Amino acid sequence: MKTNDTFRIAVLPGDGIGVEVMQPCLAVLEAASNRIGGFRLAFDRREAGALCYRDTGVALPEASLAAARTADAILLGAMGWPEIRYADGTEISPQIDLRIEFGLYAGVRPVRALPSTTPILADQRSKALDFVVIRESTEGLFASRGKGTVLDDREGRDTMVITRDVCERLFDFAFELARARRKNGGKGIVTCVDKANVFASFAFFRKIFDERAALHPDITANHAYIDATALFMVRKPWEFDVLVTENMFGDILSDLGAGLIGGMGFAPSADIGDEHAVFQPCHGTAPDIAGQDKANPTAMLLSAAMMLEWLGEKHDRQQAVTAGQLIRGAVDSAFDRGIRPFEIGGRDGTTEIARRVLEALKTVEPATA
């Protein structure tokens, strides 16, 4: 239980548009907490990422990691840069290291259409899309990161890892999320997405899902294969509620989900563990648009809203939950009043979108997830 009213937030802006979307995000967080009151935010800005690696030889300095470890929450922009790589040719991605270091197994990636945006799919039901992809974020095929082998320039190998310990917590998290969403009109369905018809590791994944489903009989438990899920996400995504899947599959499905709601700049995420959590947009550093004020900060702002809600629920501070809902309400209101990011063919850049959200924040009502 927290004894003071200040949440310390480790802020890791990172590289490229990560830095550009973080700046308005901190202003919006500050404005939301000031309007609601009852708690404070102390931002502890730290270096990490590809430019940090280029300049210091270290991608995630000890001091940054220590600050993240002791913070109440971690807010991250985006990290990596195509031309800056480790000696083995792989990209700099401390955001993945943080997930492993802090055991952030539940990658929560909401797919929610914003008001007054033109749906990508023609069917009008996609205007009200609202489902969540939970990407397991510590093992699966990514367990092989840095450990894969190529034999004699002839054969490449990477190994998938699925553990009971992580799966049990992941599935319980998914059922609890579906239960919480049902209070706000959610369907109360969790769908396990796998390839259990082909791989032993996925058959095991599904077996554990069924075991945990039996402990949550109030929630409907479904199964779907990954290939069919990709089809359904395009054909009838409005039927989903909570999807839970392996790391690599979740990586791909969450980008598909982002595509359904306008692009990467609309897709927030939270990587949640038992103690720590990192909140960051799903997107990368977008070198193609960096430095042009073209980045859509919406995903970053909605990730910050998720952070406040998580902090408020964890520490029993309703004001923080309300401030998170207020940010979501302000984003919705700004879109309803016609902001159009470059990403969807509009003319509103990072600065203008931030200005309009800050303006909306003065008057809007909080919006539930």
- The contact set with ligand ATP (CB under 6 A) reads 17, 80, 263-265, 283-286, 288-289, 295-296, 299, 343
Q: How far apart are alpha carbons 201 and 195 in whole angstroms? A: 9
Task: State the residue number with the nearest CB to ligand ATP.
Answer: 284
Minimum CB separation from ligand ATP for residue 296, in Å?
4
| Cα radius of gyration rounded to whole Å, the chain | 20
**Given the complex with ligand ATP, which of 10 and 17 has the nearer CB atom?**
17
**Given the complex with ligand ATP, which of 241 and 348 has the nearer CB atom?**
348
CA distances from 281 to 40, 173, 265, 267 (A): 23, 20, 7, 6
Minimum CB separation from ligand ATP for residue 145, in Å?
13
Minimum CB separation from ligand ATP for residue 17, in Å?
6
List, in sequence order, every residue forming a beta bridge with 7; answer none if it has no partner.
41
Q: How far apart are alpha carbons 242 and 299 in whole angstroms? A: 19
Q: How far apart are alpha carbons 205 and 199 in whole angstroms? A: 10
HSE-up (13 A, CA, CB side) for residue 110 = 27
Minimum CB separation from ligand ATP for residue 267, in Å?
9
**Given the complex with ligand ATP, which of 273 and 284 has the nearer CB atom?**
284
Q: C-alpha 285: how far from its chain's center? A: 15
**Given the complex with ligand ATP, which of 309 and 343 has the nearer CB atom?**
343
Minimum CB separation from ligand ATP for residue 26, in Å?
16
**Given the complex with ligand ATP, which of 295 and 305 has the nearer CB atom?**
295
**Given the complex with ligand ATP, which of 311 and 354 has the nearer CB atom?**
354
> SS3 breakdown of the chain: % helix, strand, coil, rounded to 5?
45, 20, 35
Q: Which of 306, 280, 264, 254 is nearest to 93 (CA)?
A: 280
Contacts of 4 (CB under 8 A, 6+ apart): none
**Given the complex with ligand ATP, which of 171 and 249 has the nearer CB atom?**
249
Q: Which of 87, 25, 103, 67 is nearest to 302 (CA)?
A: 25
